[in-house]
Amino acid sequence: MSFEFGMKGFTCGMIALICWVVSIILNLMNLSTIGWLFGVAVLVFGIMAFVNGKKEYAADPNNSKAKTGKTIGLVIIILEIVTFVVLLVAAGTLAALMM
């Protein structure tokens, strides 16, 4: 595929957001295995959006799509890490209560 300069990060960020919504919907429909795969895709596309957006923004600081892609990627990465830590703490708390 051929992308306009500055669109790779933005496109990966949008794909990550779409995968995130699909993951939530699949988890609500009790299809957690497939939802988990989409959750991994969210992290991968979020990292790609951040890396591509950062490179494109460094090359052209006036490009708003590159800046948006970088920002979306960073927010997704932070939210994924926070979600993982919260779930880890919740699982540890439940395990401690069961003892």
Taking only the tens place, the pLDDT of each residue in 13-59 is 999 999 999 999 998 999 988 989 998 999 999 999 999 999 999 99
Task: Map out the domains of the chain as residue ranges.
Answer: 7-98
Quote the pLDDT of residue 76: 94
Taking only the tens place, the pLDDT of each residue in 59-84 is 988 988 889 999 999 999 999 999 89
Element (H, E) at 7: helix 7-28
Structure tokens at 91: 């699982």
Question: Model pTM?
Answer: 0.84
Closest by Cα among 80, 69, 59 to 11: 69
Q: CA 53, CA 47: separation in Å to the nearest integer?
A: 10
Quote the pLDDT of residue 32: 86
Strands (E), 16-59: none
Q: CA 92, CA 72: separation in Å to the nearest integer?
A: 30
- Report the helix count and the strand count for the chain, using DSSP H and E: 3, 0
